[in-house]
């Protein structure tokens, strides 16, 4: 079993408890991060009618719910919203919450979508789980319309510069695996999550990779003591 298959298998295993674990582990803060990502992306796109939004590594559909909610609050009409994920188990949970949404089993680097067909692509806390990341960025660029946007929210690796950074590090590496393990009965999965952040590249390198794929970062901002970073890039 390759690395990508192992990651997918792990998410299938924790799918049933993933939403609860996420809320507990982020202390609910991830909701505000997601809201900011949606609001800012809509602001940058500046259109009241949007043909298609694709949420990649959609998991249980959390981000799709935020897109729908923020669109309604801003009187933005979304014609079609699609969730894409290689984990059937995670999407099965998503379908329970969002029976009206189309979910497609696929990886980020190979999506069954037409060229230049999508207004906005989002990937929230999933890009570090994509093994073929550069290929995925090229795929995003292929699928996006010209001037379309990609919104990436991710836990990013940052230099530790103050005591709070060490506190965050302690929480992610010591407390999160225990709490996540208790909720999901799978400690290995929640040991993988902080490990995957430690192994992940920096925001600067992520921006370089986006540029290589023809996606120009137009907004980069870290939230909540640099735990989460939002990058919005435009297809040029």
22-80 confidence digits (pLDDT tens): 656 566 677 899 999 999 999 999 999 999 999 999 999 999 999 999 999 999 999 99
Q: What is the pLDDT of residues 155-197, one digit of tens each?
A: 766 556 666 666 666 666 666 666 666 666 666 666 656 565 6
Handedness of CA 21, 154, 40, 147 (dihedral sign): negative
Kindly report the CATH number that applies to the domain delimited by 3-7+27-158+202-235.
3.40.50.150
How distant, in Å, are the alpha carbons of 82, 114, 128, 183, 211 from that of 134? 22, 19, 11, 33, 10
Q: Compute the distance between CA of residue 59 and CA of residue 184 in angstroms, rounded to an integer.
A: 15
Q: What is the pLDDT of residues 75-126, one digit of tens each?
A: 999 999 999 999 888 899 899 999 999 999 999 999 999 999 999 999 998 8
68 φ, ψ (degrees, to nearest 5): -65, -45
User: In the chain, where are the structural domains located?
Assistant: 3-7+27-158+202-235
Q: Compute the distance between CA of residue 173 and CA of residue 196 in angstroms, rounded to an integer.
A: 11
Residue written as token pair 């709070």: 164
- The answer to whether 122 is annotated as binding is no
- The answer to whether 161 is annotated as binding is no
Q: Please give the model's pTM, rounded to 2 decimal places.
A: 0.80
- The answer to whether 85 is annotated as binding is yes
pLDDT for the residue numbered 67: 98
């Amino acid at each position: 079993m390759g690395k990508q298959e192992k990651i997918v298998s792990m998410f299938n295993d924790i799918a049933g408890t993933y939403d609860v674990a996420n809320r507990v582990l982020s202390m609910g803060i991830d909701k505000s991060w997601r809201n900011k990502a949606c609001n800012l992306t809509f602001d940058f796109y500046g259109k009241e009618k949007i043909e298609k939004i694709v949420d990649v590594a959609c998991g249980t559909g959390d981000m799709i719910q935020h897109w729908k909610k923020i669109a309604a609050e801003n009187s933005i009409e979304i014609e079609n919203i699609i969730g894409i994920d290689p984990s059937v188990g995670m999407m099965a949970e998503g379908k329970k919450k969002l029976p009206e949404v189309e979910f497609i089993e696929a990886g980020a680097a190979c999506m069954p979508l037409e060229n230049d067909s999508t207004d906005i692509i989002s990937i929230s806390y999933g890009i570090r789980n994509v093994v073929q990341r550069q290929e995925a960025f090229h795929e995003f660029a292929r699928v996006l319309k010209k001037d379309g946007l990609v919104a990436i929210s991710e836990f990013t690796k940052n230099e530790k510069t103050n005591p709070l950074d060490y506190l965050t590090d302690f929480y992610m590496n010591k407390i999160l695996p225990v709490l996540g393990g208790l909720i999901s009965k799978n400690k290995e999965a929640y040991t993988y999550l902080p490990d995957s952040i430690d192994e992940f590249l920096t925001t600067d390198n992520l921006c370089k990779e986006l540029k290589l794929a023809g996606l120009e970062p137009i907004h980069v901002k870290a939230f909540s003591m640099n735990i989460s970073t939002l990058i919005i890039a435009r297809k040029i």
